[in-house]
Amino acid sequence: MPHTQRQQVGSRGRCSSRLLPLLLLLVSLAAQPSRAAIHIPSNLTLFLILAVKRPPMITTQPESVTVFSVEDLVMSCEASGNPSPIFRWTKDGKEFDPGSDPELKVSERPGSSAFYTLSNTMDNMKQYKGKYVCYASNELGTAVSSEATLNTDALPSQQKEKKVYVKSEEGNSIVLKCNPPQSSMEPIIHWMDWSLHHILLSERVVVGKDGNLYFAHLRPEDSRDDYTCNVQYLATRTILAKEPITLTVNPSNSVLRNRRPHMMRPTGGHSSYHALRGQTLELECIVQGLPTPRVTWLRRDHEMSESRTTKDMFDRRLRFTNISESDGGEYQCIAENSQGKITHTYTVTVEAAPYWTNGPVSQLYAPGETVKLDCQADGIPSPVIRWTMNGMPLSETDKDSRRSLTESRSLILKDVNFGDTAIYQCQASNKHGTILTNTNVYVIELPPQILTEDGNTYTFTEGQKATLECETFGSPKPKVIWESDRISSLLADPRVNVLTNGVLEISNITHDDEGSYTCSVQNSNLSISAELEVLNRTVITSPPQALKVQPGNTAIFTCLSLVDPKLGSPLIQWRKNSQKLIESHSDEKYTFDGPDLIIANVEPGDEGVYTCEVITKLDMAEASSSLTLCDRPDPPALLQITEAKRRAVTLSWTPGDDHNSEVLEYVVEFEDQGSKERGWEELKRVGGNKKRASLPLWPYVSYRFRVIAINDVGKSDPSKPSEIHNTPAEAPDNNPEDVRSESTDPDTLVIAWEEMDKRNFNGPDFKYRVLWRRVVGSGPTWHTNYTMAPPVTVNDVGNFSAFEIKVQAVNEKGEGPEPDPVIGYSGEDLPLEAPMDVGVALMNSTTIRVTWAAVDRESVRGHLLGYKIYLTRIGSRGHHRGRRSREPESTVVLETGANEEKKVISDLRPYSHYALAITVFNSKGEGPPSETLSFKTEEGVPGPPMSLMLDSPSETEMTLHWTPPGQPNGILSGYLLQYQQIVESDDSPMQVETIDDPTVTHLTLKGLDRHSHYRFYLRGRTDAGDGEPIMREGATTLDGAPPANISLSVGENSVNLSWVAKKRHRNVSFQIHYLNKNDGSKWKKTEKVNSSQSFYQLQGLTPGSHYHLRFTYSNNTFWETDIETDGTRVTEVQPSFATQGWFIGFVSAIVLLLLILLILCFIKRSKGGKYSVKDKEEGPMDSEVRPMKDETFGEYSDLEEKRTASQPSLGEESKLCSEDNLDFNGSSAITTELNLDESLASQFSRPSEGPEALHGLPDNSPLNPTTISPATNGMPNAVTILD
């Protein structure tokens, strides 16, 4: 939608003062579109209303009314105009002056006319029945109202009635009459009981349009004595209650006979109805029958309108709302139950009162113009068109040759002048009514004006139709000329069109159309300019794709678009079948997620066409796609077996519903009725376009078939099985496969084969016929044996003897084809001989070649599978560093082929003792081993040293520590060390150090560059050469220095110190000395702090005090500073003797002694005596008391001994509370906790290589991982302050 700015007309569009005295038309002129006349602009409407004269216009039409009382007769008419119009009335086409009638009272006010009756009786009202028309006139013309009809009628009244009693049998149909009073008003019927509760309606009990209550059949519970018909008239607000009806239903003593449907209302088989366009029509179909008939409606000649038809009264009524001509035709009501059905046909004829199709338009005209007033109306039957001028028929006015009527009843006024100004009425009539419209024709001369604002900018997108406005006003109508600064001949472009209202239209615009356009009025100096801006059109780059989704799954449509940045973010609107979708919040059916529409739990109702609309401020793009529910196909049906042969049949079927997913193939399965334990098995597959399949079958099988359909979603359920089909028996078609000898034991022949499938038996009494004979010396005679299953064992046939064997299938119908014999052997035995002439040749320190002589094949006593070489390493040949190697023996077994007589063996350990033996083996096992042959491997190069550690004693020195190779592979003669600087180009020279002493395990290199990193390679050496190297990288450690740039963070009782530890620098220790300037105490110092810690917390400071800190290293101060702790300083209270440790200990001892004495007294009193414990123990006691004495006083004695033994601990506690050990700052607990942390830290920081590997390395050496100080475990140490 283009953006257009408008405002009140300025210098170009200001109304001239010449307009003020002119007689202009009323506001309705400004509301109508212009054709060849002058259009009053909307921004002049208010001016016209306030400042000019206006012709009359009927604003309130007189209304048709039915008078039931004298108070109801009121006829009024209202009209606007300037000057105020004068009213007159006509009745039935004749002049009617209500003011001259003494029975009427006239009310005249400016802009309105009304009259009402003064009579007190309804008898006088009948003389006023008729059709009334109101005329409103002023000096500009006369407006005519629509026709209003006045009728009289009596109020409906209650009739005196007798009480009605109705009796009937159960199952019969019946009608209870209502008989409402006659009236011109349409009554509303309510059937109720005495309690004013509605009678329960249903398909069996309904109310007809005539007000009667219809029962399709009666039930005993329908009996009651208060069926009351209540008649309601809305117009008079009246409800009349009829006399109650008593209905008695006699129960049937026999079984009710069902009855086919029968029409109750309307009767017969056909009825006709007439209706007028726009009215409401109801067709009813009330039927009787048992059981209650079900009613359906259909249109016989066309499709029934869903928007204008509804069903009511339990489908017994078909209601047409706002009926149209297209609803005319034949309709049918079908009522049916289990006994039959009945139909009734309705012919609906729709006619129409006149209605406008193209009415005349009120306009301003310039002198000399030709006026054409169109007046076209339609109706059934076609209406008659008549013209009047100021309420008078044209035939009664002066004849004017300039005035004429066309065949379409349009009024033509040629060469109009100021005298043609009038109000013309067009009237359309047929038998159903009359409609009338007033049209104002005003002839005037006005100067041209451009009303559209200058400098408007119009924005559109590519492909749209651009409309640039140039609204003008004047009489005669100004002619508009459009020009463009980019196109020389604008109107030559077929896409460009200038409308009669001055609007410039450019169809299918492009970016080339952008620029400035000028609108000017011909023969004047009036013009305006407009800018046209063209943006990129909105396009959908990735439209939603058609989806096929299974029910219950989630469907996701994605709609990606490209929008011009000037249009902002678009609105994405989704529609389903053109209906707007709203995001669901309760059931989460629809979710909008950016460009995605997510449809959850897809159901059949979700199928349809989904449209994505990308909507911007100016344009819209849309794309549609479909959502189809697909599912597994329904199973095929109606399986039939045809064309049966001995070994084949043809199976045909009827496909089931594919559920919107094409069937890809059908699978035919069968079930062998004689082997049901095997279940259903696949027999054949055919394409999805097939409906039959030719099936190959086995003889002597009882078949049942079924078919499964497969589509993209999955498999259908199997179809119902076919009938059973049996094939006849035949001789076997083939013999068992894989006939072989499985002999394992000596002197036996075991003949085995693969059992045949039962389906290949082809007949009853199936068995195997087994035949065998020796290959040599037995002659042509075959030995035969019959068996039901393999194997067959033949004894006493010798070891490893060759036989011809074969197996043939046999059944009642005959034998299978002649089988081909195969060679099999009797059981094998262990080989008898060992390989001879075993030899070993050394190829190098790790490789040998083993040779041997082949054994006699007869001694193998079976199939020769090959040889096994047993190779055992006994140990190393020599000594290493004074220690003899003690390694467990390890044996390797290598297998060779049957025809091999040599073998090359690699990967042996150099400088080792080995033993070797060879055996021959067959499938039964191995023969005896050959004699053991010992040999030694030559010396080889050593493996890499086991470890290499780096240590830097100074900035230019590096000490290497290593351990000898784990596999010296000979006598170690020394080491070779190579090292080089690590540089980016990787081309630094390699330096070499040779170590001839094999016992040396460390070496110090001097003169290294303190700024460089090095790469070290260390190799062991033997007489065979240099071994594999071990490599390490590292750099020297620089001399340490105390930290610089120390940061302070001061608290109340502590200060946090932090610094950056220098990499590769050796760790140094320093101390912090601090002095409290406020209390005059002496200097204090911390323990030694490591420079590698990076953090330290100085604790035990006094809040609100000034401290001087001094940092020392090697008895030299390298930094000092002053700090002030946070908080408020607390004045120290001088201790009194009451707080001294000796006094507290003394008082505690006294209190403890008093407590012990109190406990003793309590015990003595609880025992009931005042004698001593000793007397109690020595006195005579009875046997019952003695155990108590022993236990009680034993416990007391133990308690006393325990308390006595605990006395020294009290003294020890008092010592702990001495003055020297009192710590009011809680530093003792902190120290204890830190001691525990130190022990843990020492465990976590211990290197894994052992103390030898890291001996002498600095704490922060780059050769080792960063170590945490053992005293702190990575946390600052605490200082205990004893004040």
Q: What is the pLDDT of residues 659-715, one digit of tens each?
A: 889 999 999 999 999 888 889 999 999 999 999 999 999 999 999 999 999 998 899
Nearest alpha-carbon partner for 1064 in 1274, 1264, 1249, 1254: 1264
CA atoms within 13 A on the CB side of 1068: 20
pLDDT at 1189 over 80: no
Give the number of other CB atoms < 10 A from CB of residue 1162: 9
Please give the Cα distance from 260 to 954 (Å, whole number). Answer: 122
Which residue would you say has higher pLDDT here, 537 or 1258? 537
Determine contact, residues 390/141, Cβ cutoff 8 Å.
yes
Q: C-alpha angle with apex 188: 185 to 193, nearest 5 degrees? A: 140
Categorise residue 266: left if φ over 0, alpha if ψ from -120 to 50, beta otherwise. Answer: beta
Direct distance between the N- and C-terminal alpha carbons of the chain, in angstroms, rounded to an integer: 89
- The rounded distance, in Å, linking the Cα atoms of 506 and 466 is 5
Predicted local confidence at residue 1130, as pLDDT = 62
Q: Is residue 27 scored above 80 in pLDDT?
A: no
Banded pLDDT at 1135 (limits 50, 70, 90): low
Q: Which residue matches tokens 């190959």? A: 696
What is the reported pLDDT for 875? Answer: 86
DSSP 49: H
CA distances from 345 to 266, 276, 351, 597 (A): 10, 20, 20, 48
SS3 820: coil
What residues are paired with 1195 via a beta bridge?
Answer: none
- Report the distance separating Cα 826 and Cα 774, nearest Å: 10
CB 528 within 8 Å of CB 453: yes
- Comparing C-alpha atoms, which of 687, 690, 681, 685 is closest to residue 667? 685
Q: What is the pLDDT of residue 182?
A: 85
Question: Long-range CB contacts (< 8 A, 24+ apart) of 1186-1192?
Answer: 1192/1167
For residue 712, give the amino acid letter.
Answer: D
Q: Is the model more confident about 259 or about 1192?
A: 259
For residue 1167, the model assigns a pLDDT of 57
In the prediction, which pLDDT does 369 show? 85
CA distance 962 to 964: 7
Beta-carbon count within 10 A of 93 CB: 10
- pLDDT at residue 689, rounded to an integer: 92
What is the crossing angle of helices 1185-1205 and 1207-1216, to 10°?
Answer: 30
C-alpha–C-alpha distance, residues 1269 and 206, integer Å: 102
The model's pLDDT over 565-578, given as tens digits with 9 standing for 90+, comes to: 999 999 999 999 99
Nearest Cα to Cα of residue 819 among 829, 805, 832: 805
What are the residues facing 1002 on neighbouring strands? 961
Mean pLDDT for 804-811 is 93
Helix (H, G, I), strand (E, B) or coil at 958: strand
Structure token pair of residue 462? 């590519």
pLDDT of 35 higher than 80: no
Q: What is the per-residue pLDDT for 1243?
A: 33
Residue found by looking up tokens 């990288």 in the block: 1033
Give mean pLDDT, residues 524-544. Answer: 93
pLDDT at position 722 is 93
**HSE of 961 in the Cβ direction (CA atoms, 13 Å)?**
15
d(CA 788, CA 761): 12
Confidence of residue 1253 (pLDDT cuts 50, 70, 90): very low
Residue 661's nearest CA partner among 685, 631, 683 is: 631
pLDDT score, position 301: 86
For 1196: left if phi > 0, alpha if psi spans -120 to 50, otherwise beta; the answer is alpha
pTM to 2 decimal places: 0.43
pLDDT, residue 1209, reads 36
Tell me the C-alpha distance between 427 and 439, whole Å: 11
pLDDT given at position 811: 93
- Give the contacts of 216 (CB within 8 A, at least 6 positions apart): 173, 203, 204, 205, 264, 287, 288, 289, 290, 292, 293
Q: Are 171 and 204 in contact (CB under 8 A)?
A: no
Reported as type and span, the H/E element at residue 373 is: strand 371-373
Query: CA–CA distance from 233 to each of 30, 236, 245, 1233 (Å)?
Result: 44, 6, 22, 101
Indicate if the alpha-carbon torsion angle 404, 406, 410, 415 is positive or negative.
negative
In 3D space, the residue among 252, 266, 129, 242 whose CA is nearest the CA of residue 193 turns out to be: 242
- Residue in the block written with tokens 């590769």: 1064
Distance CA 2, CA 215 (A): 65
Task: Say if residues 503 and 4 touch (Cβ distance below 8 Å).
Answer: no
Structure tokens that stand for 431 in this block: 């038998």
List CB contacts of 933: < 8 A, sequence separation 6 or more. 838, 839, 840, 915, 916, 917
**Tens-place pLDDT, residues 1260-1272:** 433 333 333 333 3
Question: Is the pLDDT score of 1280 beyond 80?
Answer: no
DSSP code string of 1201-1246: HHHHHTHHHHHHHHHHTSGGG--TT-HHHHHHHHHHHHHHHHHHTS
Question: Ramachandran region of residue 940, left (φ > 0), alpha (ψ -120 to 50) or beta?
Answer: beta
Q: Which of 90, 180, 96 has its CA nearest to residue 133? A: 90
Q: Output the pLDDT for position 1129.
A: 73
φ, ψ at 997 (rounded to 5°): -95, 115
Confidence (pLDDT) at 1016: 93
Mean pLDDT is lowest, of 120-129, 454-463, 526-535, 765-774, for 120-129
Which residues are CB-neighbours of 906 under 8 A, at least 6 positions away?
Answer: 846, 847
The C-alpha atoms of residue 175 and residue 213 are separated, in whole angstroms, by 6
pLDDT at 351 over 90: yes
Q: Is the pLDDT of residue 120 over 90?
A: no
The mean pLDDT value for 104-120 works out to 87
The yes-or-no verdict on residue 33 having pLDDT over 70 is no
Whether 1108 shows a pLDDT value over 70: the answer reads yes
Summarize pLDDT for 1021-1077 with one digit per residue, the tens.
Answer: 998 899 999 999 988 888 888 888 888 898 988 999 998 887 788 888 889 999 888
More confident residue, 1134 or 842: 842
Contact status, residue 143 vs residue 28, Cβ threshold 8 Å: no
Q: Residue 1001: is its pLDDT beyond 90?
A: yes
pLDDT given for residue 25 in this prediction = 39
**Portion of the chain with pLDDT greater than 90, in percent:** 50
| Secondary element (H or E) of residue 1191 | helix 1185-1205
Q: What span, in angstroms and rounded, lies between the C-alpha atoms of 355 and 1194? A: 127
Alpha-carbon gap, residue 1089 to 1279, rounded angstroms: 11
Q: For residue 1137, what pLDDT band results from cuts at 50, 70 and 90?
A: low
pLDDT classification of 68: cutoffs 50, 70, 90: confident
Name the phi and psi angles at 866, rounded to 5: 150, -165
> Rounded mean pLDDT of 822-843?
91
Instruction: Identify which of 860, 1283, 806, 1236 has the alpha carbon closest to the alpha carbon of residue 1076.
Output: 1283
Phi, psi of 1200 (to 5 degrees): -70, -40
Average pLDDT in the chain: 83
**HEC string of 311-324?**
EECCCCEEEECCCC
What Rg do the C-alpha atoms of the chain give, in angstroms?
61
Q: Supply the DSSP symbol for 966.
A: S
